[in-house]
Amino acid sequence: MEGVRSNQLIGYGLVVGLPGTGEQSPFTEQSFKTMLSNFGITMPENLKPKIKNVAAVAVHAELTAFAKPGQTIDVTVSSMGSAQSLRGGTLLQTMLMGLDGNAYAVAQGSLVVSGLGLGGLDGSKILVNIPTVGRIANGATVEREIKSPFSMGDSITFNLHNSDFTTAKRLSDTINNLIVGSAKAIDATSVKVTAPRDISDRVSFLSVLENLEFEPNITFSKNNS
């Protein structure tokens, strides 16, 4: 459905509690001091904290269509510096921003890391998967809803996964067999359908349409497979 899609979110945060596999870099130290200052703790300028149990990370997630405040989404956490592993770490409260600069979710929680890295005294290393990337299932809480075009206007537009004039015509014909004159194929990708303005009626209308069946252009599909 045109305009109804997921939105990418991204944020910058700190993972703490690492067993000495973190990093000690200028921007990590700066982030650590900024976090402490938010709690009213000021560190002396000449004091450089040894924070090998902290790592600076990028946090990203997808905000699904129709997600509402209070619901949760999965997040992926990736090391941005020289941290060796994020295993055993906990992500501190991180704001997840959209392209418009607004915060849409807040992430926090313990990471699940599938990667594993081992090193020998002779300098040899074994790396299984990626230990510097982890996930937090339901790790972010949605704080802001993104407006959807679903409830706007007098019509909705369906977009095909694969552009094809025949498939677009067959889709519009199938809808018109149910409600005469309600659907019109705009081009090889889109079919515009007149829909009720009342949101409850529109949901019921879409529930009927999504259960309609029609045959796509099989020849075109085979040529593009």
DSSP string over 132-184: TEEEEEEEEEE-SPPP-GGGSSSEEEEE-SS--HHHHHHHHHHHHHHSTT-EE
**Residue-wise pLDDT tens for the chain (225 aa)?**
888 889 999 999 999 988 888 887 777 777 877 777 777 777 767 666 667 888 999 999 999 989 999 999 999 999 988 888 898 899 999 999 999 999 999 999 999 987 555 454 445 455 556 788 999 999 999 999 988 888 888 999 999 999 999 999 999 999 999 999 999 999 999 999 999 989 999 999 999 999 999 988 876 555 555
Model confidence pTM above 0.85: no
Query: 3-state DSSP call for residue 199?
Result: helix
Q: What is the DSSP letter of 48?
A: -
Q: How far apart are CA 77 and CA 102, in angstroms?
A: 20
The residue count for the chain: 225
Which of 157, 140, 147 is closest to 192 using CA atoms? Answer: 157
